[in-house]
């Protein structure tokens, strides 16, 4: 099972490398969205620091959502998804591998780039560390929960809009706790409670989202 999971991740990473423009488009959106806010708000340091967590988290959330419609659509178009469904390997394992690959392509680059973008908002070292920790815990949830939305909208017209409508309400707790961790630290409190809630959410997503995605794919392909 571990070998199958690694094979799915490797396969999707190779395919993503051949379609690098898709991943670069999401990353470019994240950079542009984060960079425009300081220009529009002005150079006031206090205002920039207060809005930084929300801006970075909203931009990361939207950038991750942009790539969700392509999570299953290419495999569905060429018939690969049907072959995966008919294979002897558990569909849940295949779905988990595709979600991991999606996070490595669309989520991890956002996490690695976020400290550099946060510097233009004037965040200190502690706030940067908490922001990085919240994104490391939260962005995998975006990929796992987003996979459910992508499976539910598979084959539908205007699937990109439908995926956003399904996924964004489910992302709200992640956004609240992710941005709230940095806000709580700035207010003099501790960020640990928010990070623990994000960790619990990641645990629930790992346990439930692949099963829900597999069930949605079976319904979509029947």
Q: Mean pLDDT check: name the lowest of 18-22, 51-55, 112-116, 193-197.
A: 18-22
Mean pLDDT across the chain, nearest whole number? 86
> By CB neighbour count within 10 A (0-12 exposed, 13-18 middle, 19+ buried), where does 32 fall?
exposed
Report which of residues 144 and 85 the model is more confident about.
144
Task: Tokens for 141, please give them.
Answer: 């949830």
- Closest by CA to 204, choosing from 127, 128, 148, 121, is 148
pLDDT of residue 48: 83
Q: Are 8 and 81 in contact (CB under 8 A)?
A: no
**How does DSSP classify residue 44?**
-
Integer Cα distance of 208 and 194 in angstroms: 21
pLDDT of residue 46: 81
Q: Which long-range contacts (CB under 8 A, 24 or more apart) does 21-26 make?
A: 22/67, 22/70, 23/67, 23/105, 23/106, 23/109, 25/66, 26/63, 26/64, 26/66, 26/67, 26/106
Round to the nearest angstrom and report the end-to-end CA distance of the chain: 26
Confidence of residue 47 (pLDDT cuts 50, 70, 90): confident
Give the Cα-Cα-Cα angle 8, 11, 14 (nearest 5 degrees): 150
> By CB neighbour count within 10 A (0-12 exposed, 13-18 middle, 19+ buried), where does 50 fall?
middle
What is the helix, strand, coil percentage profile of the chain, to 5? 85, 0, 15
Integer Cα distance of 3 and 190 in angstroms: 40
pLDDT of residue 1: 65
């Amino acid at each position: 099972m571990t070998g199958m999971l690694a094979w799915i991740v490797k396969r999707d990473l190779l395919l993503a490398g051949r379609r690098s423009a898709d991943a670069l488009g999401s990353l470019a959106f994240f950079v542009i969205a984060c960079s425009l806010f300081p220009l529009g708000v002005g150079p006031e340091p206090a205002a920039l620091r207060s809005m930084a967590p929300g801006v970075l988290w909203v931009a990361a959330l939207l950038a991750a959502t942009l790539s969700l419609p392509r999570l299953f659509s290419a495999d569905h178009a060429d018939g690969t998804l049907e072959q995966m469904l008919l294979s002897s390997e558990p569909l849940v394992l295949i779905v988990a591998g595709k979600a991991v690959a999606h996070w490595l392509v669309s989520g991890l680059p956002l996490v690695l780039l976020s400290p550099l973008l946060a510097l233009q908002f004037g965040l200190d070292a502690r706030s940067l560390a908490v922001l990085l920790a919240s994104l490391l815990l939260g962005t995998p949830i975006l990929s796992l929960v987003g996979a459910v939305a992508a499976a539910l909208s598979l084959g539908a017209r205007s699937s990109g809009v439908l995926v956003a409508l399904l996924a964004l309400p489910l992302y709200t707790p992640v956004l609240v706790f992710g941005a709230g961790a940095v806000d709580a630290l700035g207010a003099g409190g501790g960020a640990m409670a928010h990070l623990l809630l994000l960790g619990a959410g990641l645990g629930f997503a790992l346990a439930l989202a692949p099963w829900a995605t597999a069930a949605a794919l079976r319904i979509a392909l029947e």
